[in-house]
Amino acid sequence: MIIQKRILLLVILGFSIRSASAQNKNIYKNGWIDFNKNGVKDVFEDPAEPIEKRVENLLSQMTLDEKTCQTATLYGYGRVLKDEMPVANWKNEVWKDGIANIDEELNNLKSNTDKAYTKYAYPFSRHAEAINTIQKWFVEQTRLGIPVDFTNEGIHGLCHEKATPLPAPIGIGSTWDKNLVYQAGKTVGKEAKALGYTNVYAPILDPARDQRWGRVVECYGEDPFLIAALGVQMASGIQGQGVASTLKHFAVYSVPKGGRDGNARTDPHVAPREMYELYLYPFKKVIKEVHPLGVMSSYNDWNGEPITGSYFFLTELLRQKFGFTGYVVSDSEAVEFLYSKHHVAATYPDAVKQAIEAGLNVRTNFTMPQTFILPLRELVKEGKLSMETLNSRVADVLRVKFKLGLFDRPYVTDPKAADKIVHTPADEQMALQLNRESMVLLKNEKNLLPLDKHQLKNILVTGPLAAEKSYATSRYGPSYNPVTSVLEGIRNYVGKNSIVEYAKGCDIIDATWPESEIIPTPLTAEEQADIADAVAKAKNADVIIAVVGEDEKRVGESLSRSGLNLPGRQLQLVQALQATGKPVVMVMINGQPLTINWENKYVPAILEAWFPGPESGKVVAETLFGDNNPGGKLTITFPKTTGQIELNFPFKPASQSGQPGSGPNGYGSTRVLGALYPFGYGLSYTTFAYSNLKIDRPTMHTQNDITVSVDVANTGKIKGDEVVQLYLKDEVSSVTTYEYDLRGFERVPLLPGEKKTVKFVLHPDDLALLDKNMNWTVEPGKFQVMIGSSSEDIKLKAEFEVEK
């Protein structure tokens, strides 16, 4: 009898599985999908219906459990998720009722803190198929079949094994090349789409105003106009490929007190006017022009109000004033910080309530999603959070999924095509060009550069970054691409023309660093021997190439510094090399401005390479030997000492001035003045001349555009790029404005002797200021247009007047 019952049970179970399978197969209709599996084309399943009606219809069918599941992230395999592929137990997990997004799923992340090895990341087609398998589980095995938004990082290129790698964002910014940044965004979006990702966390729009901050390397620079202009291009490139661009990190995130990142992550000292003019400007601009589908809320506070618990930031500013219509995802642990760090919530459920009511849509953290979902459900059941609020937050998430087409085409259409789409030779060339254009020449005394390999019999390559490769792989970009070190790049470039000797010279840091920055220690015998070895080899060299700076363990997220000199014994190495009397070329691999005062005074040539991508050695060699004429410009001020910080562009009148030399208080000299290298600075192997500055009309009304043109010519002997920069000065205003603002730039390639006319169109927004009532307005008065090669190297000036 027992055996018969077991047989009957197995028959029934088998029939149920076959029926469910048959039912799932039948959900794919002609032109629509029966997500809720009821055999009827509901409004939300009808591609012909308006998105708002589809959202409303789907929301009306959702239970509390299903709604709350659309408010949380499931971190992908190797981070939180334990299964590479769906398993039977998923029917017992919280995501049996769906999930908002799955982050970094099967991307084969490689970093100092995380290992997420998976066989499903590569070949690319295997990943696309794997994502389809996971998406199919959610579509077919959950009651309503709501598809997943697959998110991933993308600031260095898509964060996926062997995807096209980009240089660090500070290098991308240094190109000042809007067209190329758009192409980079297009590549990131195209690769995401092919691999099955539907949402990319990029670009970062934070102005890097404190040079000590570890994440300077991940920002485009310090100036809001430049960040906004490049951010528009990157976000447009990504979203043009049919995936969402999620902007980071909203807001006032990039200036923690004292430049301290890590466990601090709070207390930015930013005045309200400065917040709008500097820190919110890029977000407002990109949201207005690109309509990105995502924004990430930051975990800091501002003026005592944590952003992720702030209705003012997440609803009033972001949605009501800026017009954002996507969904807001929290930075990791931002919700928890309301309770654990900021202490504005007495309990964790109270933190959940604050975040949801403020306007957060999706919580992200490195914990299972139920740690957020279950408290949220209880809040609703207890009447502490209204269903109306929850519905609004869920609707935002669903709306994005409809806009992305997930309810019409939830799967990667052609997984096999990914192998031909991701990291193509054309993409590789684009990334290589981006690397080339990011090179910034800081010094070139007596035109030591470019080097002539035919005139050099013996080259010494030295320094702790010469043979290093780790900086070329970012936790926020592709892993497992082959890397060419600077040493290898130079050897490959010169071939048999020259002998290339190598000596490491010193490590990146010494044993007691960073304490050695404040308590100097004598060199050990081993350190003395390493420097002596480099000096001995230098005596036989025709030129010394010293590759110095930082690696990914010295700058980055949670890696802010208290000093900005070359770390460890690197300065002693450079000084010893310089003392040989041989010409020294210093190549800098670093992620933030360094206070290289001695080096700038005594080393004849300095090239800023930032954190280049895997082809770093090739690009640096091409640049040193003249095949690539460096045309990059600095997007962040290099101070002479950390004692000058804050030292940035733009700045208020006299805020970065010197000391009085006359008058009743005019005496003494107690501090160093000025920047080591100013914003917009960068040299070239050729020369440029500016002429014929024209403004199309001497007067204009407050609502009119105005056109400015200028001629720029290459007056040297080789081709090169010049970044033409337009600055605008409001001569008299009702409130104190910045001394002058960047309001236009173009990177212009020029052959020897070639001249081009560069045109800029100034819009009313470019002239606007925040008046005494904190309203953006264009005030009548005179404006000065300044055209230059940097913020301090102004070539031409002209004036126009705005009438009432």
Catalytic residues: 331
**If we measure between CA atoms, which residue out of 128, 133, 193 comes closest to residue 158?**
193
Ordered strands of the 440-444 beta sheet: 440-444, 605-608, 584-589, 543-549, 458-462, 499-503
CB 373 within 8 A of CB 335: no
CB 438 within 8 A of CB 610: yes
Tell me how far apart the alpha carbons of residues 168 and 174 are, in angstroms, rounded to a whole number.
Answer: 10
Helix 281-290 / helix 224-239 crossing angle, nearest 10 deg: 30
What is each CA distance from 710 to 717, 787, 797, 799, in whole angstroms?
22, 8, 11, 14
Single-letter residue type at 21: S
Return the structure tokens found at 666.
């005019």
Separation between Cα atoms, residue 617 and residue 529, nearest integer Å: 27
**Which residue is it, tokens 């996507």?**
326
322, 288 contact by CB (below 8 A): yes
What is the DSSP annotation of 617-638?
A: HHHHHHHHTTSS------SS-B
Would you say 736 and 746 are in contact if contact means Cβ atoms under 8 Å apart? no
Q: Is the separation of the CB atoms in 769 and 731 below 8 Å?
A: no
> How far apart, in whole angstroms, are the C-alpha atoms of residue 682 and residue 620?
16
Rounded to whole angstroms, the Cα distance separating 633 from 742 reads 14
CA dist., res. 609 & res. 545, Å (int): 13
Going by their DSSP bridges, the two strands 294-297 and 301-302 should be labelled as unpaired
Phi-psi region of 695 (alpha: psi -120 to 50; beta: other; left: phi over 0): beta
Query: What is the bridge-based pairing of β-strands 720-730 and 781-788?
Result: antiparallel
Residue in the structure block whose two tokens are 């005030």: 779
- Would you give the DSSP letter of residue 276? I
d(CA 772, CA 783): 20
Q: Scanning the structure block, which residue is given the tokens 């590569």?
A: 122
* Contact predicate 592/638, CB 8 Å: no
- The total of other beta-carbon atoms located within 10 Å of residue 501's CB is 17
Residue 428 neighbours by CB under 8 Å, 6+ apart: 164
- Mark 145-162 as b/e (b = at least 16 C-beta within 10 Å): bbbbbbbbbbbbbbbbbb
